[in-house]
């Protein structure tokens, strides 16, 4: 679509894993995005406080992306007080990139809960939303979400700076950070679920050793 557009993947990244990285790259390739900003949240509004500190999660992210110049670790949510609302992050990105299309990447699981996000009705004024779908996914959305989805679903290539919902099929990787933390706490190896360099730093910092 455009090579000067920015993709945004927010998350806890506790720790970052291939289930974040590969789908983000799939989207960057399929939509021709210039950069993907990986944005670790400080205080997630919808979940418990991460086990690793913000600084540790950033260090893990930096190792994970070091061979991909299109990926950027963006610390803006860590520099803000209070809960990490996506809408505030989008406003700040829009200010920084007034003329670039923004694409907010969300997994289907996150998209299903999007109508509970702070000021969710304003999201499409600031960004497109890319719903990262599993190849064989058939999603039954609640009625209110399905009508919002249909209303904004992209139908052709002439997308603007914001306003469309774009489903994209991504590599199916059944990996979660929870599964990785549990494996480590149980003394099992998380190898091949996340980059080796990230595992080495997790080990060095002694992260996720305690059962949650
Ligand atoms: P946790 O297990 O701690 O809940 P997580 O692995 O789901 O963490 P998050 O940091 O919460 O990771 O996820 C950030 C974003 O990445 C969300 O939009 C989520 O839907 C997406 N995501 C996470 N894992 C995958 C995966 N395996 N495939 C596709 N998208 C994913």
Q: What is the CATH number of the domain that holds 180?
A: 3.40.50.620
- What is residue 46's predicted lDDT score, i.e. its pLDDT? 66
Question: Which domain covers residue 71, as residue numbers?
Answer: 6-205
Burial of 198 (0-12, 13-18, 19+ CB in 10 A): buried
* Phi, then psi, of 105 in degrees rounded to 5: -90, 125
Ligand 1 centre to CA of 110 (Å) is 8
pTM of the model: 0.91
Does residue 211 lie within any of the structural domains? no
Does residue 85 lie within any of the structural domains? yes
Interatomic CA distance for residues 122 and 75, integer angstroms: 23
Ligand 1 centre to CA of 105 (Å) is 11
Does residue 169 lie within any of the structural domains? yes
- What is residue 61's predicted lDDT score, i.e. its pLDDT? 98
Q: Is 208 in the pocket of ligand 1 (CB under 6 A)?
A: no
Pick from 8, 10, 11, 108 the residue to mutate for probing ligand 1's pocket: most ligand atoms within 8 Å of its CB. 11
Atom 25 of ligand 1: nearest residue by CA position = 19
pLDDT greater than 80 at residue 43: no
State how many domains the chain has. Answer: 1
Does residue 109 lie within any of the structural domains? yes
Q: Is 175 in the pocket of ligand 1 (CB under 6 A)?
A: yes
**Residues 5, 33 contacting (CB under 8 angstroms):** yes
DSSP string over 116-169: GSTTGGGHHHH-EEEEEE-TT------HHHHHHHHHHB--SS---SS--EEEEE
Does residue 133 lie within any of the structural domains? yes
- What is residue 86's predicted lDDT score, i.e. its pLDDT? 95
Does residue 210 lie within any of the structural domains? no
Tokens 């489903």, located at residue: 167
């Amino acid at each position: 679509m455009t090579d000067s557009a920015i993709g945004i993947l927010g998350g806890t990244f506790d720790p970052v894993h291939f289930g974040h990285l590969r789908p983000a790259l799939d989207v960057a390739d399929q939509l021709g995005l210039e950069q993907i900003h990986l944005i670790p949240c400080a205080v997630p509004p919808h979940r418990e406080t991460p086990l690793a500190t913000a600084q540790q999660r950033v260090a893990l992210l930096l190792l994970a992306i070091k061979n991909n110049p299109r990926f950027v670790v963006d610390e803006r949510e860590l520099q803000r007080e209070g809960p990490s609302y996506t809408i505030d992050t989008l406003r700040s990105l829009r200010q920084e990139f007034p003329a670039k299309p923004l694409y907010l990447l969300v997994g289907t699981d996150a998209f299903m809960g999007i109508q509970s996000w702070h000021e969710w009705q304003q999201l499409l004024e600031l960004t497109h939303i890319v719903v990262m779908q599993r190849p064989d996914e058939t999603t039954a959305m609640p009625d209110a979400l399905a009508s919002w989805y249909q209303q904004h679903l992209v139908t052709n290539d002439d997308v603007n700076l914001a306003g469309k919902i774009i489903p994209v099929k991504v590599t199916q990787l059944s990996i979660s950070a929870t599964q990785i933390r549990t494996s480590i706490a149980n003394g099992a190896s998380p190898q091949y679920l996340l980059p080796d360099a990230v595992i080495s730093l997790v080990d060095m910092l002694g992260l996720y050793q305690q059962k949650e």
